[in-house]
Amino acid sequence: MKWKMLAGLTGLLAASAAAHAQSSVVLYGVIDDGLTYVSNQGGHHAYRMDDSISQGDRFGFRGVEDLGGGLKAVFNLEGGFNPNTGASRQGGLEFGRQAYVGLQSDRYGAVTLGRTYDQMTMTLIRYHSGYWSGIYAFDAGDHDRISGNWLNNVVTYTSPTIRGLRFSAQYSFNSQSAPANSYGVAYSLSASYEHGPLSIGAATTSIHHYTVTPGSSFGVGSFLGVDVAFSSTAVVVDRYRTAGIGASYDFRVVGVSALYTNTRYETGANASTMQSINAVVHSYLRPDLIVAGGYGYSRMSPYNWNEFNAVLDYLLSKRTDVYVSANYQKANGGARAVLVTLPASGNDKQLALRVGIRHKF
C-alpha cells in the first residue's frame, strides 16, 4: 500500500512539474541613454542628457500558459521609466506602456484585453526611418502615431498568419480617465503581408475627442482657426483619423522601406489634413555595424516640413550597442522646426546630434 501511495504521489508531482514547464514568465527591458546637442531650442543651442531616443526605456513581464489543444493564456505588463531620474514615464503610470491579458490560439488567432499600442505603431513602424534612427526622426509632431501611442480599455483581435497574410482589429471603449491623447471611443485596423524579402502593411486609427498640442508639437501659430501661438495650448478635436500604407524589401546587403500617411483633424465645420511620406535605406556594413539614412516630408497647408536623418550603430554584443545619429528638420510656411520630443526651435531649423548607448535585457 505504501509503495502504491508513493508511486501515486510521484506521478502527481511529475504531472505538476510538466504542467509548470509549459508555463513561463519572462522579465525583459531596454535602457537607452545618451547625450544630445540641439542647435536651437527656444532660440539657444543646448546640450541634453536624453533617454528613450533609439528605443523607449522599459521593463516588463511577459507570460504564457499552455492550456492544451493549441490554446494559451498570455499577459504582458510593461512600464516606462527615465533612467536619469528614476521617474515613471507615461504620466506616472506603473505599467503605462502595456498592460493586457488574453487568449491565443494557433488556429484562430489571439484576443487580448487591456492597454496596448494601436495598429499605426504595431504594423507601420517597421517602414519608417524612425525605426532605425530613433524618435527624433518621426514626422512632424508624430501626427500619425507611428512612434508608439496607446489605447486604453481596448479589445484586440489578431488573426493567425495565413499564407503570409495577417490582420488585426481593435476597439477602445470610452475612457474619460485616460491620458489626454486617448479620451474617446476609438478603433484601429490593420492588414499585413509577408513573402520572402517583401513586406507590405496598411493601418488606420480613429479616435473621438482627441487632444493635440499643435503649437508645441508642430511648431505652428494657428490650428483649425485657433490661435495657439506656438505654445503648448491643448486643442480637443471632435474626431481624429489617421491612415497609412508602407512597404519594404530586403536585398540582403541593403534594405529599403517607404511609408505614406494621411492624418485628418475635424472640429465642427473646420478640418485640417497632414500628409507625410518617408523613405529609408539601411545596410549591415558588417554583422556588427549598421548604417541607415532617411528622408521625410510632411505638409499641412500652409505649413510643410523636410526632415533628414542618419545613424551609425555598432553592436558590441547581441544585447548592447553604441550609436551616433544626426537629425535635421527645416520647416516652411511660417512654422518653427521641432523634432519629436524636443522643445521647438526659435526659427525654422533644428539639428540634433547624438551619441548613445542601448542595452537590452
User: Is 194 inside a domain boundary?
Assistant: yes
Contact criterion met (CB below 8 Å) for 227 and 221: yes
Top-confidence residue, 184 or 76: 76
User: Is 28 inside a domain boundary?
Assistant: no
Q: What is the pTM of this model?
A: 0.89
User: Is 287 inside a domain boundary?
Assistant: yes
* pLDDT tier for residue 2 given thresholds of 50, 70 and 90: very low
* Residue 183 predicted with pLDDT over 70: no
pLDDT digits (tens, 9 = 90+) for 109-126: 999 999 999 999 999 999
pLDDT digits (tens, 9 = 90+) for 282-332: 999 999 999 999 999 999 999 999 999 999 999 999 999 999 999 999 999
User: Is 21 inside a domain boundary?
Assistant: no
**What per-residue confidence (pLDDT) applies to 292?**
98
CATH number, position 46: 2.40.160.10
CA–CA separation, 330 vs 267, rounded Å? 28
**What per-residue confidence (pLDDT) applies to 184?**
81
* Residue 19 predicted with pLDDT over 50: no
How does DSSP classify residue 81?
Answer: B
Q: What is the percent of the chain with per-residue pLDDT over 70, rounded to a whole number?
A: 92
CA–CA separation, 3 vs 265, rounded Å? 75
User: Is 224 inside a domain boundary?
Assistant: yes
pLDDT digits (tens, 9 = 90+) for 212-265: 999 999 999 999 989 998 999 999 999 999 999 999 999 989 999 999 999 999
Averaged pLDDT of the chain: 92
User: Is 241 inside a domain boundary?
Assistant: yes
* Residue 44 predicted with pLDDT over 90: yes
- What is the SS3 assignment for 171-219? EECCCCCCCCCCCCCEEEEEEEEEECCEEEEEEEEEEEEEEECHHHHCC
pLDDT digits (tens, 9 = 90+) for 64-77: 999 999 999 999 99
User: Is 332 inside a domain boundary?
Assistant: yes
Domain of residue 228 covers: 35-360
Chain-centre distance for alpha carbon 323: 20
* Residue 5 predicted with pLDDT over 50: no
User: Is 17 inside a domain boundary?
Assistant: no
Q: What is the percent of the chain with per-residue pLDDT over 90, rounded to a whole number?
A: 87
Contact criterion met (CB below 8 Å) for 34 and 135: no
* Residue 10 predicted with pLDDT over 60: no
Number of domains in the chain: 1
* Residue 139 predicted with pLDDT over 60: yes
